[in-house]
């Protein structure tokens, strides 16, 4: 197969130049093989206050790209301390609930059912800006214990598994930051940092930004960063590591093979998510990679191991469509075309046919949003289904009459058009408590308030029918949409990554 470096460079340049706006942040894309960088493209500003340009040497937060590096270390030098088949409770005895029965492998391959800590805190009224510590979060997870779903029954993205495996290593005196330095940074002579919190001082780190509709604002986040997304570094140094994976040498020897080894669900099917690594297809070509998203930072990489070529992207702005951008560049590089974006689904709001199920789905434009998480839909499936190109959020949907059926996260789903009723919202009026978490929310009319005093977060309510209500609010740079399901005198709040939060009605 011919590799078209020039065509890919043209596409990468087109993408980066779309970020070249006056006074706006930016990013960079590099195209490389196992031995050299073939082209580098950058645009926009690294620091809006200093007006410094963004470059491949700008230090950013890699966010969830961290996961594949952590998985490489867990399955490499970390194998002396734990194995993929170990249950988490063997290393963290405080996990006395269902979460302790998850294996290390399940915790890393997104089949665990572990609720995502950040989304759980969000449903309790904590903003993205609220600061938390590793020790407090471990105690919180240990006290909760419940899972979103039976392990292995579906794929649903969660950061909590990586947090817990890091804590398992930490309990043995092994620190992720030390493994990172010893086994990657020193051999490759690169500078990567595993920051504990957003507030750690990282030399050269450029700010991240988000746009509120009128102006660019500095981003921040309070959640302890953990091995699910804590690494900072430059695109150039990330590329040097990725090249060792393609070369299958040095610190990267055997890593791609370990991380991309097939992982199976409970029914024997193979998922598209390995250990911190996704697989995707462009035509008949298999690619491996991962993306990352922190408030104000975006990242993505794609590798073609057979051809030993890759694409990597980082940015310090919230509005980048990283996965699609990386796929476009890689498609140009290997002389392939992406499928057509779009679908034949009827736009609108849908809800699970079974009233006992709070699943909801919205089709708007080329996006499908399920339980608050959105994904682009593409044509080109042999059966006419609308599909995603994501192995972290796999979708396959089609119409069956007015209903939409198919799979989300490899689990069967069936949705029917929403038939709203005012009774669903009327029944929610008043105050609700989650006593163990000391959390409260109130509903007055069609407005829900969660949180304390002037920091309370409002959300507007919309009936989905049959005791199911959709709440829409905003948390920092992100829209927050969650479903409330009333079950007598208690309610259950659900996002795609957290489905375990319950409130009960106040007695007064």
pLDDT at 505: 95
DSSP letter string, 205-230: BPPPEEE-SSSEEE----S--HHHH-
SS (H, E, C) 285-301: EEEEEEEEEECCEEEEE
Phi then psi dihedrals of residue 256, to 5 deg? -60, -40
β-strand partners of 406: 397, 413
* Sole residue written with tokens 């598209």: 272
160-170 and 66-75 are packed helices; what angle lies between their axes, rounded to 10 degrees? Answer: 40
Would you identify the CATH topology of the domain 422-505? Answer: Lipocalin (2.40.128)
Exposure of 400 in the CB half-sphere (CA atoms within 13 A): 11
**Separation CA 72–CA 66 (nearest Å):** 10
* DSSP letter, residue 419: -
Domain residue extents for the chain: 5-58+193-215+231-333, 348-417, 422-505
pLDDT at 220: 95
User: pLDDT by residue for the chain (508 residues), tens digit each?
Assistant: 789 999 999 999 999 999 999 999 999 999 999 999 999 999 999 999 999 999 999 999 999 999 999 999 999 999 999 999 999 999 999 999 999 999 999 999 999 999 999 999 999 999 999 999 999 999 999 999 999 999 999 999 999 999 999 999 999 999 999 999 999 999 999 999 999 999 999 999 999 999 999 999 999 999 999 999 999 999 999 999 999 999 999 999 999 999 999 999 999 999 999 999 999 999 899 999 999 999 999 999 999 999 999 999 999 999 999 999 999 999 999 999 999 999 999 999 999 999 999 999 999 999 999 999 999 999 976 678 999 999 999 999 999 999 999 999 999 999 999 999 999 999 999 999 999 999 999 999 999 999 999 989 999 999 999 999 999 999 989 899 999 999 999 999 999 999 999 999 988 6
Secondary structure class of 30 (helix, strand, coil)? strand
Secondary structure class of 490 (helix, strand, coil)? strand
- Compute the C-alpha angle 465/468/473, nearest 5°: 115
Give the total residue count for the chain: 508
- Compute the C-alpha angle 351/355/359, nearest 5°: 35
Tell me whether domains 5-58+193-215+231-333 and 422-505 share a fold.
Answer: no
Where would I find the beta strands (DSSP E) of 62-215? 193-194, 209-211
Secondary structure class of 447 (helix, strand, coil)? strand
Give the CA-trace dihedral at 495, 499, 501, 507, to 10 degrees.
90
**CB-count burial class (<10 Å; 0-12, 13-18, 19+) for 255:** buried
pLDDT at 224: 96
Where would I find the beta strands (DSSP E) of 6-116? 27-33, 37-43, 45-47, 52-53, 59-61
For residue 103, what are the CA distances in angstroms to 84, 168, 357, 508? 6, 12, 28, 43
CATH of domain 5-58+193-215+231-333: 3.40.710.10
pLDDT at 268: 95
Structure tokens at 309: 């070529």
**Sheet containing 367-370, strands listed edge to edge, beginning at the edge strand earlier in sequence:** 373-376, 367-370, 360-364, 348-352, 411-417, 403-408, 395-400, 386-387
CB 455 within 8 A of CB 475: no
CB 213 within 8 A of CB 277: no
């Amino acid at each position: 197969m011919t590799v078209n470096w020039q065509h890919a460079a043209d596409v990468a340049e087109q993408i980066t130049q779309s970020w070249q706006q006056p006074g706006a942040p930016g990013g960079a894309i590099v195209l490389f093989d196992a031995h050299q960088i073939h082209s580098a493209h950058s645009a926009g500003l690294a620091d809006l206050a200093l007006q410094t340009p963004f470059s491949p040497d700008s230090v950013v937060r890699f966010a969830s790209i961290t996961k594949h590096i952590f998985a490489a270390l867990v399955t490499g030098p970390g194998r002396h301390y734990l194995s993929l088949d170990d249950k988490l409770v063997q290393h963290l005895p405080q996990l006395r609930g269902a979460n302790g029965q998850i294996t290390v492998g399940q915790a890393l391959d997104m089949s665990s059912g572990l609720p995502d800590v950040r989304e759980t805190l969000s449903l309790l009224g904590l903003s993205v800006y609220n600061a938390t510590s590793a020790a407090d979060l471990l105690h919180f997870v240990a006290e909760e214990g419940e899972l979103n779903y039976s392990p292995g029954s579906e794929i649903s993205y969660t950061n909590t598994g990586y947090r817990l495996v890091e804590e398992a290593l930490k309990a043995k005196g092994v620190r992720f930051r030390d493994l990172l330095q010893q086994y990657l940074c020193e051999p490759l002579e690169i500078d990567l940092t595993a920051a504990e919190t957003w507030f750690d001082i990282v030399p050269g780190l450029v700010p991240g930004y988000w746009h509120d509709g009128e102006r660019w604002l500095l981003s921040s986040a309070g959640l302890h960063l953990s091995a699910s997304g804590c690494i900072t570094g430059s695109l150039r140094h990330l590329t040097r590591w990725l090249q060792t994976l393609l070369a299958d040498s040095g610190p990267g020897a055997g890593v791609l093979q370990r991380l991309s080894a097939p992982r199976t669900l409970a029914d024997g099917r193979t998922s598209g998510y390995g250990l911190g690594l996704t697989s995707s297809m462009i035509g008949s070509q298999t690619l491996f990679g991962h993306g990352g998203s922190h408030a104000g930072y975006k990242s993505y990489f794609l590798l073609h191991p057979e051809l030993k070529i890759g694409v990597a992207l980082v940015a310090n702005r919230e509005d980048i469509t990283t996965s699609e951008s990386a796929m476009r560049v890689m498609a140009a590089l290997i002389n392939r075309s992406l499928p057509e974006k779009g679908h034949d689904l009827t736009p609108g709001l849908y809800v699970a046919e079974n009233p006992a199920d709070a699943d909801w789905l919205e089709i708007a434009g080329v996006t499908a949003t399920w339980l608050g998480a959105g994904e682009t839909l593409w044509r080109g499936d042999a059966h006419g289904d609308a599909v995603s190109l994501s192995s972290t959020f796999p979708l396959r949907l089609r119409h069956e009459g007015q209903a939409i059926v198919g799979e989300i996260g490899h689990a069967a789903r069936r949705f029917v058009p929403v038939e709203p009723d005012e009774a669903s919202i009327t029944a929610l009026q008043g105050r609700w408590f989650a006593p163990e978490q000391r959390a409260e929310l109130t509903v007055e009319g069609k407005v829900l308030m969660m949180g304390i005093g002037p920091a309370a977060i409002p959300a507007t309510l919309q009936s989905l029918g049959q005791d199911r209500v959709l709440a829409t609010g905003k948390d920092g740079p992100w829209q927050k949409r969650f479903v409330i399901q009333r079950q007598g005198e208690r309610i259950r709040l659900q996002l795609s990554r957290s489905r375990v939060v319950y409130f009960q009605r106040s007695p007064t």
